[in-house]
Structure 1
Amino acid sequence: MVTQLDDLDRKILTELQEDAAQSLDEIARKVGSSKTPVWNRIRRMREQKVIVKQTALLDAESLGLEACFFVLIRTSEHEAEWQGKFLHVLRARPEVLEAHRLAGDIDYLLKVRVKNARAYDLFYQALISEVKIFNVTALLSMEEIKSTTALPL
């Protein structure tokens, strides 16, 4: 179900996506409102699950996670038991930042962040030892051109 948002809601969400640590007073000033209506709208959007959580974004390279791989997985297994095990394995691996099930020739796309190619190989070896996979292709990102968590409002 799509939640109905007005212009003020969108302005508030834009500010939160930019910096969720700013105070209610700052947000209210920037969106042209006062603190109480802003707080009430944020509370309502949390209740409606428009705002799922607030978190800190970390710089991967500053933490030594310099390699980003996009992993394309094809499988010959499509049974519920295999899929359950595969999803469990993916969710347990902190290196996997994103996992998508796709339509088309590729079954799954993973975004994996690791220290280097050796660390990726360790991840790969662990993955294929835990679950049967038909084909794995890893693509190393040479440069991150754009990365955002902000949704277009």
Structure 2
Amino acid sequence: MKKNALDSIDKKILCSVQQDADVPLSELAEQVGLTQTPCWRRLQRLQSEGFITRRVALLNAQKLGLATTVIVQVKAARHDGRWLADFARHAGAFEEVVEFYRMSGEYDYLLKVLVPDMASFDHFYKRLVNGIDLQDVTSSFAMEQIKYDTAVPLTHL
């Protein structure tokens, strides 16, 4: 098989493990129509080629007291390489930042922040803006989570 080429069995393996990374190999092999050894080899190849980057446990933020989700948008103070690298390092170091993107459009960066409450967000915000020169920062508070999924869509394969 050509490197980085995915067939229907690979797609089934990826679909299964992104729903449950702990699925036993015997069950996975049965789901995709293989015996255990070829299934294990394919799983190892998918990992070594970077299709599976890591296996994690997904935690319930609400149960852990992280009831407030904030989307923070940032306009860069400058657009030179040094500032961009400094900002990426600065904002990326915060544990509260669970997603971080460089964007096109009006705002240059988007951060998804999880905190217990407004006071915790205020503390985070002060550390964010005091650590580096920013042109503008705006924050939106999620009122309700309507969809949350970590599964990557595979229908295009």
Place the TM-score, normalised by the shorter chain, in its bin. Answer: over 0.9
Whole-Å Cα distance in 1 between the matches of residues 95 and 113 of structure 2? 9
Whole-Å Cα distance in 2 between the matches of residues 40 and 145 of structure 1? 38
Whole-Å Cα distance in 2 between the matches of residues 77 and 115 of structure 1? 32
Point out where structure 2 has 5 or more consecutive residues left out of the alignment.
Answer: none
* TM-score normalised by the chain length of structure 1: 0.96
Whole-Å Cα distance in 2 between the matches of residues 53 and 86 of structure 1? 26
Query: Which letter does structure 1 place at the counterpart of 2:105?
Result: G
* TM-score normalised by the chain length of structure 2: 0.93
- Alignment-derived partner of residue 63 in structure 2: 62
Whole-Å Cα distance in 2 between the matches of residues 149 and 3 of structure 1? 22
Whole-Å Cα distance in 1 between the matches of residues 87 and 137 of structure 2? 14
Identity %: 38
- Alignment-derived partner of residue 112 in structure 2: 111
Describe the superposition over 1:91-139 as per-residue Cα deviations: whole angstroms up to 9, x where unpaired.
2101001111111111001100000111111110001110111111100
Alignment: residue pair count: 152
- Alignment-derived partner of residue 126 in structure 1: 127
Whole-Å Cα distance in 1 between the matches of residues 45 and 14 of structure 2? 12
- Alignment-derived partner of residue 82 in structure 2: 81
Query: Which letter does structure 1 place at the counterpart of 2:21?
Result: A
Whether 2:87 is the aligned partner of 1:91: answer no
- Alignment-derived partner of residue 38 in structure 1: 39
- Alignment-derived partner of residue 72 in structure 2: 71
Query: Which letter does structure 2 place at the counterpart of 1:57?
Result: L
4+ residue runs over 6 A deviation: none
Whether 2:152 is the aligned partner of 1:140: answer no
3-state SS in 2 of match to 1:113 = strand
CA RMSD of aligned residues (A): 1.1
Q: CA deviation at 1:3?
A: 2.6
- Alignment-derived partner of residue 17 in structure 1: 18
Query: Which letter does structure 1 place at the counterpart of 2:83?
Result: W
Whole-Å Cα distance in 1 between the matches of residues 129 and 38 of structure 2? 52
Query: Which letter does structure 1 place at the counterpart of 2:58?
Result: L
Whole-Å Cα distance in 2 between the matches of residues 123 and 149 of structure 1? 25
Whether 2:139 is the aligned partner of 1:150: answer no
3-state SS in 1 of match to 2:63 = helix
Whole-Å Cα distance in 2 between the matches of residues 110 and 21 of structure 1? 30
